[in-house]
Homo-oligomer: A and B are copies of this chain.
């Protein structure tokens, strides 16, 4: 018997696959994307769900990190696996192991060389500002309420100074170490809906808190506290104190990552 076992061939180990996931989550009850000890994060619940399905310890690579409270409609990750479950069934299996506030929208096999962090060409974020005479009750989890009028034309003029390749050192969280603070914002687009102002930001990548500090600064412009023409000087200062306050996280959502 021992001999037969020794001679018996093991089934060939399945080749490693690289799987890309598109993930949606409600950031309200997550301590952000990135795994942290003893905190519920989107990364940790997705890694646990993958492990429950594949039996393998999963380590996902991410298009980026979202802060605590920030949402995602199209966060992209990838992970290696030897599981033979077809991609379309993998999504359903992972989803059945996830809570209601996070879901895999799509799973697809990608070349082994695909890397969700390094290959991301651009990201689209949306910041939603609720307007009107009264704070919203239904929209409160997905917007930042601003009371009173906003000069959106002034905000648009200010935003034009932020589009392009700039040193955004004035727009990053203090105490966060980042050698290279140059980033490229490809476009800033304003969409006025009935009860809200949505600002879409497309860029190759953003510093920690950068978009929320930009929104906080644009809101100061909208309130007439900062002139649109003052933005170049705020950028040139390379000093966080030159910019406006950090807008709260719940208005921000990662809409899409392009590769």
Contacts and interface: CB of A to CB of B under 8 A. Distances in A.
A155 interface: no
B134 A105 contact: yes
Contact of A95 (B26, B135, B141): B135
A134 to B, nearest CB: 5
Interface string A78-119: 000000000000010001000011111110000000000000
B138 A142 contact: yes
Copies of this chain assembled into the complex = 2
Q: Which of A26, A91, A142 has the most CB of B within 10 A?
A: A26
A103 B140 CA distance: 11
Interface of A: 24-26, 71, 73, 91, 95, 100-106, 133-138, 140-142, 253
A91 B106 CA distance: 45
B26 A138 contact: yes
A140 B104 CA distance: 14
19 contacts: A24-B137, A25-B138, A26-B137, A26-B138, A71-B138, A73-B138, A95-B134, A100-B135, A100-B137, A100-B140, A101-B137, A101-B140, A103-B134, A103-B135, A104-B134, A105-B134, A106-B134, A138-B253, A141-B141
10 closest residue pairs by CB, A with B: A103-B137, A24-B137, A100-B140, A25-B137, A105-B134, A26-B138, A26-B137, A102-B137, A101-B137, A103-B134
